[in-house]
Structure 1
Amino acid sequence: MFLQILDSSGVAFGRMLLRGIGQVYLLPSAWAGLLLLGAAAWQSWTLAGACLLGASAGTAWGLSAGDVPGSRAGLHGYNGALTGLGVMAVLPPGLLAWSLVVPLACLSAWMAHAWRRRCGLPPYTAPFVLVTWLLMAVAISLGLAREAAVAADVAGAGWIGAVQGLLRGIGQVMFLDDLGAGALCWLGLALGSPRAALSAGLASALCLLVAGLAGFPADAAALGLYGFNAVLAAEALRAVRPGRWLWPCAAVLLSLGLMRGFQLLGLPSLTAPFLLATWVVRQAALHRPHQARAA
C-alpha cells in the first residue's frame, strides 16, 4: 500500500512539474510540457536538466507553501523552469551554476506567489526576469558571466529562412535557437492547444514580416529574437479576450518595438517586452468601455 501511494504521489508530482514547463507558454498541459522538455534536451541536455530541476524546485516550493491547486496547474513551476534555463544562459555550466538553480527557482516561485496575492496584474514571467537580471548583474560584476556566443549565419533564403526564423522565434522562449528544438516546441504547443500553436506561429511570422519591413537586423530575426516575446504576448492576450485578435496583434507589435528598444540600449531584455506589452494591452482590453461580449 505504501509503495502504491508513493508511486501515485510521484506520478502526480511529475504531472505538476510538466504542467509547470507547459505554463512557460501559458499552457497547463503535461503533454505539452513533456514535449517542451524534449525540445530542450534536443538542443542541450544541460538546458533540459536545468529546466527540469528548476520546475521541480518551484513546484516543490508551491506544495510546501500549501498551494496545492496552484501547484497542480503548474503555476509554481514555470518561473522556476525559466530561471533554471536563465542560470545556464548566464553562467558557464559547472558546480556554481547547478548549485544556484534550486535556490533561485524557489525565489522566483515565492515572488510569483507573493505577486499574485498582492498585485492585480498577473506576474507572468516577471519573477524569472527580475531574478535573472540580478544574477546577470552579480555575475558580470564578479567576472563570472559566460562569454556571449557568436551567432553563426543560420538563415536560409526565401521561404526557408522565414520558416527557420518563425520556429526559432517559438523556441527562443526557452533560450532554444536550434531549428529542431523550435519545431518540437511548436509541436508541443499544438499538442497542448492547436489554437496556441496557431497563435504562436502567426505572432512569430508577423514579427518577422514587420522586422523585415522596418529594416531591423536580419541576423537577430533569423535567430528568432524578435518573435519569442510576441509568442507569449499573443497567447496571454488571446486568453484574456478569446476570439478578439485585435488585442493580441497590438501586444505583438508593441512587444516587437520594445524588444528593438532594448537592443538599441544594449540591455538584456529576456521576456520584459512581453511583460510590458501584455500588461499595457491587457489593461486596455479589460477596461475598454462598452466591451462586446467575448466569443
Structure 2
Amino acid sequence: MSAAPHEEPLDALRTLLRSFGQIVLQRDAATGACVLAAWLVSDARLACAALTGAIAANVGAVLRGYACADTRDGLHGFNGALAALAAFTFIADDATAMAVAILAATAAAWLLGPWERLLRSRGLGVYSSPCLLVTWAWLPLVHPAPTRAAGSEAIAWLDPLRGLLAGIAQTSFACGALAGALILGGIALSSMRAACFALVGAALATSAQWLAGAGGASFDAGLLGFNGALVALAVADCGALAALAGVGVSVVLQQVAAFHGLPALTAPFVVATWTTRRLMRDTRRTRANSPDCPPEDGAAPGHREQASRAVLPER
C-alpha cells in the first residue's frame, strides 16, 4: 500500500515519455527520454510545447473514453505533442502558440477515434495524420503565401554527417546534429535495427533530394531527410526493399510539395507508408511461399502500426 502513491506519478511519466517515443515509432520510455533531451538541447520552447500537447491529448483521450492501455502506450499523446510542436513552430507569439497548441492537441485526440476507424476499414494506419489534419485546418491563417522553392545551393562546405543527423532531429521538430544524435541513440535503445533503418532512410532521402536540386540551407537544417527516416522506420518490418520503395515515394512527394511552395509537413511520410504497405501486401498475397507483410493495424515498431510523424516549415 505504501508504494501506491509513488506508482501513479511514475506511470504518468512513462505515459508521457512513451508518447514522445511514439513520434519515432518506438513504444519505449527510454526513447522518449532521449527525444525530450533532444528538444531541451535544441530549444526548451519545444520541450514545453510537446509536454503541453501530450498532456492535453491524453486528457482529451480520457474524456472521450478511449482505451487506457492505448493511452499508456503513448498512442493518444504523440499526435497531440506533434500538433503542439507545429503550433510553436509556425506561430511566433508564445501566448497564441500555447492557446493553439492546447486546442490542436485536444482536437487531434478527439479526432483519433473516428478517423482511426475510417482508416482501418480501408486497411490503413493512422500515423501522424490526425496532427496533419488539425494543423492544416489553422495553418492557412498564419502561414505566409506559397513561394517557389529556392534553387540549389552549393553544399560542399557542409558536413554531410551533421546534415544527416539534423534530418533525424527534424522527425520531432528538433534542430541540430546533437539533437539528431540523441534521437538516433534513443531509437537504438529500443531497436538497433530500427536505428539503422532510420539512418539509412534519412541518408537516401537527403541524397536524392540534394541530387534533385534541393537547397543547401535545407540540407544543413535536416529538412531533406526526416520524411525518409520516418518511412524507413514505419516499413522496416516489411524489409529493405519496402523501405527503399517507401523512401523513394516520399522523396517524390516532398519534391512536388516544395516545387509548389506547399507546407507538406509529414504528409510525404504518411502517404508513402500507406502506399508502400498496401503494395507490399498486395504483392505478397500473390506469392504463396512469401511471408505476409504485417497489416497496418497490427504491428509496427511502435504505434502498433499507427506510427507517427513530425513537422516543421517546409514539411
TM range (shorter): 0.7 to 0.9
- More relative contact order in 1 or in 2 (CA 8 Å, sep 6+)? 2
Q: Which runs of 5+ in 1 are unaligned?
A: 144-152
Provide the rounded CA distance (Å) in 2 between the counterparts of 1:26 and 1:133.
22
Alignment of 1:192 with 2:190, yes or no, is: yes
Q: Is the 8 A contact 1:58 1:105 kept in 2?
A: yes
The amino acid across from 1:169 in the alignment is G
Instruction: Tell me the equivalent position of 2:205.
Output: 207
Measure how far apart 1:208 and its partner are: 2.4
Instruction: Tell me the equivalent position of 1:58.
Output: 57
Instruction: Tell me the equivalent position of 2:275.
Output: 280
Provide the rounded CA distance (Å) in 2 between the counterparts of 1:24 and 1:266.
25
Measure how far apart 1:186 and its partner are: 1.1
Instruction: Tell me the equivalent position of 2:131.
Output: 128
Alignment of 1:290 with 2:287, yes or no, is: yes
Q: Is the 8 A contact 1:46 1:93 kept in 2?
A: no
Provide the rounded CA distance (Å) in 1 between the counterparts of 2:155 and 2:181.
15
Q: Specify which of 135, 140, 153 is matched with residue 137 of structure 1.
A: 140
The amino acid across from 2:50 in the alignment is C
Q: Is the 8 A contact 2:34 2:183 kept in 1?
A: yes
Instruction: Tell me the equivalent position of 1:149.
Output: none
Measure how far apart 1:139 and its partner are: 2.5
Q: Is the 8 A contact 2:281 2:292 kept in 1?
A: no
Q: Specify which of 167, 177, 180 is matched with residue 178 of structure 2.
A: 180
Q: Which runs of 5+ in 2 are unaligned?
A: 146-152, 294-315
The amino acid across from 1:283 in the alignment is R
CA 1:66–1:274 in 2, change beyond 3 Å: closer, same or farther? closer
CA 1:27–1:100 in 2, change beyond 3 Å: closer, same or farther? same
Q: Is the 8 A contact 1:155 1:165 kept in 2?
A: no
Measure how far apart 1:5 and its partner are: 3.1
The amino acid across from 1:290 in the alignment is R
Provide the rounded CA distance (Å) in 2 between the counterparts of 1:271 and 1:212.
18
What percent identity do the matched residue pairs reach? 33
Q: Specify which of 249, 257, 260 is matched with residue 252 of structure 2.
A: 257
Q: Is the 8 A contact 1:21 1:78 kept in 2?
A: yes
How does 1:1-295 map onto structure 2 within 5 Å? 1=1, 4-64=3-63, 65-120=65-120, 121-140=124-143, 157=157, 161-239=159-237, 241=238, 244-288=239-283, 289-290=286-287, 292-293=290-291
SS in 1 for 2:264: coil
Q: Is the 8 A contact 1:154 1:222 kept in 2?
A: no
Measure how far apart 1:114 and its partner are: 1.9
Provide the rounded CA distance (Å) in 2 between the counterparts of 1:20 and 1:59.
9
Q: Is the 8 A contact 2:162 2:176 kept in 1?
A: no
The amino acid across from 1:63 in the alignment is V
TM-score w.r.t. the length of structure 1 is 0.88
Provide the rounded CA distance (Å) in 2 between the counterparts of 1:225 and 1:94.
24
Provide the rounded CA distance (Å) in 2 between the counterparts of 1:154 and 1:94.
35
Measure how far apart 1:100 and its partner are: 2.4
Provide the rounded CA distance (Å) in 1 between the counterparts of 2:97 and 2:214.
34
Q: Is the 8 A contact 1:154 1:223 kept in 2?
A: no
Provide the aligned length of Structure 1 versus Structure 2: 279
Across the aligned residues of Structure 1 and Structure 2, the Cα RMSD in angstroms comes to: 2.2
TM-score w.r.t. the length of structure 2 is 0.83
CA 1:155–1:36 in 2, change beyond 3 Å: closer, same or farther? farther
Provide the rounded CA distance (Å) in 1 between the counterparts of 2:75 and 2:224.
26
Q: Is the 8 A contact 1:76 1:113 kept in 2?
A: no
